[in-house]
């Protein structure tokens, strides 16, 4: 069975290698606005579905996996920073506090679709202005939800985590491996589904 990861993220692609040995990458070109009325905790799963559905349009005979990650603090969703100033504001907001990292995942094959969200909690050390500026100047926050990458220098900001580490990086690999196996089994047992 052909598997497609609907993501341009190099971090997700590396983690996907743990889930299955053979897959293709087809980034999803979608409008990532979520609209009114969507709760922050539901946004990542909604965007994951949009990505999987978009890529699935041209790949009906493949299992398409869409993913999206959101950082949430005080019921506010932090996306990727617009610039260094925005990154500084996000990191200041996270300083000395706990926040949630939610990764939504959608599996799609033809009309069959399943999705789930994985949630981890991250606590930051209290950060000085100098620490935040120094980290922003590394450039690492630019393309990361919440303006940090836990797998890089951003790890030095983190006091502790609860939940799946890989979920914080952007793909809950252990859970996805199990969900994908069940999804493929369902397709094979019910090809008309």
Between CA 88 and CA 115 the distance in angstroms is 33
Partners of residue 61 on adjacent β-strands: none
| CATH number for 182 | 3.90.950.10
Between CA 67 and CA 12 the distance in angstroms is 9
Between CA 11 and CA 8 the distance in angstroms is 9
CA-CA-CA-CA torsion sign (136, 138, 143, 147): negative
| Domains held by the chain: number | 1
pLDDT at 185 over 70: yes
Examine the residue annotation and report whether 42 is marked as an active-site residue of this protein.
Answer: no
Domain range enclosing 183? 2-189
The residue from 31, 68, 75, 193 that is catalytic is: 68
Contact 63, 183 (CB under 8 A): yes
Q: Kindly report whether the global pTM for this prediction surpasses the value 0.95.
A: no
Per-residue confidence (pLDDT) for residue 127, from 0 to 100 = 98
Per-residue pLDDT tens over the stretch 96-114: 999 999 999 999 999 999 9
pLDDT at 166 over 60: yes
């Amino acid at each position: 069975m052909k598997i497609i990861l609907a993501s341009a993220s190099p971090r997700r692609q590396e983690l996907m290698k743990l889930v299955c040995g053979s897959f293709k990458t087809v980034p999803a070109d979608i409008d990532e606005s979520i609209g009114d009325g969507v709760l922050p905790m539901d946004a990542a799963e909604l965007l994951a579905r949009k990505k999987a559905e978009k890529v699935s349009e041209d790949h009906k005979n493949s299992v398409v996996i869409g993913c999206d990650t959101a950082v949430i603090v005080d019921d506010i969703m932090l996306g990727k920073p617009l610039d260094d100033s925005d990154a500084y504001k996000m990191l200041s907001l996270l300083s000395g506090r706990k926040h949630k990292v939610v990764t939504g995942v959608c599996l799609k094959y033809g009309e069959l679709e399943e999705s789930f969200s994985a949630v981890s909690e991250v606590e930051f050390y209290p950060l000085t202005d100098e620490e935040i500026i120094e980290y922003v100047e590394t450039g690492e926050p630019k393309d990361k939800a919440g303006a940090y990458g836990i797998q890089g220098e951003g790890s030095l900001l983190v006091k502790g985590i609860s939940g799946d580490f890989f979920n914080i990086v952007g793909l809950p690999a252990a859970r996805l491996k199990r969900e994908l196996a069940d999804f493929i089994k369902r397709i094979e047992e019910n090809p008309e589904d």
